[in-house]
A and B are shown apart, each in its own frame.
Chain A
Amino acid sequence: MVATIVSAASTKYDNYPESSSRELFGEAAAEAFDGIDLTPADLDAVYVGNFMGDLIEDQGHMGPLLADHVGAREAASIRVESACASGGATVAQAVQAIEAGAAEAVLVGGVEQMSLADIAHVTDALANAADDVYENEQGLTFPGIYALIARRYMHEFGVTQADLAAVSVKNRNNAVANPLAQFQEEVSREDVLESKPIATPLRLYDACPVSDGASVVVVVSETFATAHDLDASARILGTGQSSDAVALQDRATITHMPAAERAATAAYDDAGVTPVDIDVAEVHDCFTIAEIVALEALGFYELGEGARGAVEGETALDGRLPVNPSGGLLGKGHPVGATGVGQLVELTKQLDGRHPNQVDDADTALAHNVGGSGASTTVTILGGA
């Protein structure tokens, strides 16, 4: 039973301090249902990825709240929380429900409203994804955790800050052509290297911004699509998910990401493909170092080689494997619970041939979504309809 995406939509990722999760989610869902012969009343379930609604908006219980706000009050609804991997985990849950025959039509969405709080409180809320006692209470921040990974990685593999900056330059410059991206201005390597330090060796432009936004995909079984005469935009060929220790200090290694390797292996096996089959990828680049270690964990590069992707242009739009043509988290923005679903929205457009940064002949695509500093990871592989 292959799960099929029949519609995909996303708000622009940006700061909307006058908005709310219910409005953003409703906006994305309205666009997704516009133009397809399906109504929210046909949904069996609404799954919502969301990380910090209770911390920023004082709003938990997002499943039924948002199901109600998209006209599906009676559908089975649940919020899925796995920190910044909430969106990817939501997709995995929906695919499993469809493959198990428990649901035939699911609205899979993610939403985050972060800009209501000042930066210190957003940083504090994000810190909930780390080990509170052994990390936060010791003064470690989320950028700080990735900075520890970056420093060690640079030491072990002879990578420079300029090499890290190449990731930010690539992704932010990809974002310029994407109308849904938060950042719309080109940056140079000097801009990144001269931006203010946040947690050495990482600087402001090594980090993704604070974002608001919502993304949804309508996922149905193939038989449901046929019965309702729905055109498929993409097929979900495989999913994988794995975990690791939450605290960096409890990991066997901090310079690579075993949970991502396990998630990728499971997704490749499920889909019956290998890394060389992937035509385009959206990977979780919350910080520049994150994209580098992700490319290694996903099997695109050997350990210690991942920086080559951006530095040598191999992951550029016209490279052998375009990575984050959407702009990624660095350029497109990172409304935490929405990001994993937003990656699928971008890749569905790639497979449909209607992306603003269209990759030629894209037929197989990969999305990689990380929670915390690597403690939870999902990988989703899509194929063209």
Chain B
Amino acid sequence: MPAWFDDFTAAIDAHEQECLVCEACGDRTLPPRQFCPACAATELTPEPLPDRGEILSYTEISVTIPKFRGETPYTVVLVELAEGVQLTGQLREATADEIELGDEVRLDTEPRDDGLALITFHPAST
């Protein structure tokens, strides 16, 4: 995995995850960015990113790419952590049948290959 993502997931592991906030327009985005995607300004300041968010959508995947062969079925969730900041990750401690859109989940990471490469979410109650 690229070094920037190693830094991003290590920060989650240390409960110090951050997003980038545009000084000009307030748009929030995820690293690495040199330009604000909303207004193209270059003054982007790290700010703390919540570790809890709401499920915007989810899917249980049965046919996958070689890297995840043998792990199906697994559930991927798209979660909104802060206004404008959404993150994709795999659901843990629950199946697709046990969640609904709008449920609160908690951000985490898991090791994969040589580093903390996988974004995961757990039901906030666990």
Residues of chain A touching chain B, judged by Cβ–Cβ distance below 8 Å, are 119-121, 123-124, 127, 133-141, 143-144, 147-149, 151-152, 155, 196-202, 245, 247-250, 254
State whether B56 touches A119 (Cβ < 8 A).
Answer: no
Q: Assess whether B12 is interfacial by the CB under 8 Å rule.
A: no
| Residue ID in chain A nearest B78 by CB atoms | A148
Known contacts A124-B66, A147-B59, A198-B63; A140 and B101 CB within 8 A of each other? no
Residue of A123, A152, A199, A245 contacting most chain B CB atoms (<10 Å): A199
Take A144-B76, A152-B57 as given contacts and tell me if A250 and B65 are in contact as well, using a CB distance cutoff of 8 Å.
no
> Provided the pairs A133-B5, A250-B29 are in contact, do residues A123 and B63 lie with their beta carbons within 8 angstroms?
yes
Contact, CB under 8 Å: A140 / B88: yes
The answer to whether A254 and B65 touch across the interface, beta carbons within 8 angstroms, is no
For residue B97, which residue of chain A has the nearest CB? A200
Docked pose: A130 CA to B61 CA in angstroms = 16
Q: Is B62 part of the contact surface with A, judged by Cβ < 8 Å?
A: yes
**A141 contacts B101, C-beta separation under 8 Å:** no
Q: Which of B37, B62, B66 has the most CB of A within 10 A?
A: B62
Contacts of B2 in A (CB 8 A): 133
B21 within 8 A of A: no
Most buried by B among A140, A144, A201, A254: A144
Q: A120-B69, A143-B61 are in contact. List 16 more A-B contacts (CB 8 A).
A: A124-B66, A136-B65, A137-B5, A137-B117, A139-B67, A144-B76, A148-B56, A149-B57, A151-B58, A152-B78, A152-B101, A196-B62, A197-B62, A199-B59, A200-B62, A249-B88
Q: How far, in angstroms, from A104 to B88 measured CA to CA in the complex?
A: 47
| B49 beta carbon closer than 8 Å to chain A | no
When the two chains form their complex, are residues A200 and B74 in contact, meaning their CB atoms are under 8 A apart?
no
Point out the residue from A140, A144, A148, A245 that lies within 8 Å of B37, measured CB to CB.
A245
Is B96's beta carbon under 8 Å from chain A? Answer: yes
The answer, among B29, B59, B67, B78, for a CB contact under 8 Å with A254, is: B78
**Residue B86 at the A interface, CB < 8 A?**
yes
* Bound: A310/B86 CA distance, A: 32
Q: Are A199 and B88 in contact (CB under 8 A)?
A: no
Cα A245 to Cα B89 with chains together (Å): 18
Q: Does B82 contact A (CB under 8 A)?
A: no
- Contact in complex: A139, B96 (CB < 8 Å): no
List, in ascending order, chain A residues with CB within 8 A of B119's CB.
138
Contact in complex: B60, A119 (CB < 8 Å) = no
Does B10 make an interface contact (CB < 8 A)?
no
Considering the complex, give the chain B residue whose CB is closest to the CB of A152: B57
- Do the beta carbons of B62 and A148 come within 8 Å of each other? no
Taken together as a complex, chains A and B put the C-alpha atoms of A60 and B63 apart, in Å, by: 28
Residues of A with C-beta under 8 A to B112: 137
Q: Are A134 and B88 in contact (CB under 8 A)?
A: yes
A138-B90, A140-B88 given; A148·B59 CB < 8 A: yes
Interchain nearest-CB distance for B9 vs A (Å)? 10
Contacts of B87 in A (CB 8 A): 134, 249
B62-A139 in contact (CB<8A): no
Q: Which residues of B contact A123 (CB under 8 A)?
A: 63-65
Q: Nearest A residue to B63 by beta-carbon distance?
A: A198
Q: Does B14 contact A (CB under 8 A)?
A: no
Q: In the bound complex, how far is the Cα of B71 from the Cα of A136, in angstroms?
A: 14
Instruction: Scan B68-93; emit 1 where CB is below 8 A from any A CB, else 0.
Output: 11010010101000000011111000
B5 nearest CB neighbor, chain A only: A133
Return the chain A residue nearest B90 by Cβ: A139
Interchain CB contact (< 8 A) of A199 among B60, B89, B90: B60
Q: Give Cα A250 to B19, complex, Å.
A: 12
Known A133-B5, A148-B59; contact A250-B64, beta-carbon cutoff 8 A: no
* Residue numbers in A under 8 Å from B67 (CB-CB): 124, 136-137, 139
Please, how many angstroms separate the alpha-carbon atoms of A152 and B80 in the complex?
13
Q: Which residues of A have CB within 8 Å of B29?
A: 250
| A201 to B68 CA separation, bound complex (whole angstroms) | 20
Instruction: Report the 6 A-B pairs with minimum CB-CB distance, sorted nearest first.
Output: A147-B59, A249-B86, A148-B57, A152-B57, A124-B65, A200-B60
B65 in contact with A151 (CB, 8 Å): no
Contacts of B88 in A (CB 8 A): 134-135, 138, 140, 247-249
B68 touches A144 (CB 8 A): no
Residue of B nearest to A198 (CB): B63
B61 touching A199, Cβ below 8 Å: yes
Between A and B, 20 residue pairs with Cβ closer than 8 Å are A123-B63, A133-B2, A134-B88, A137-B1, A137-B112, A138-B90, A139-B64, A151-B58, A152-B57, A155-B57, A198-B61, A198-B63, A199-B60, A245-B37, A247-B88, A249-B30, A249-B78, A249-B88, A250-B29, A250-B30
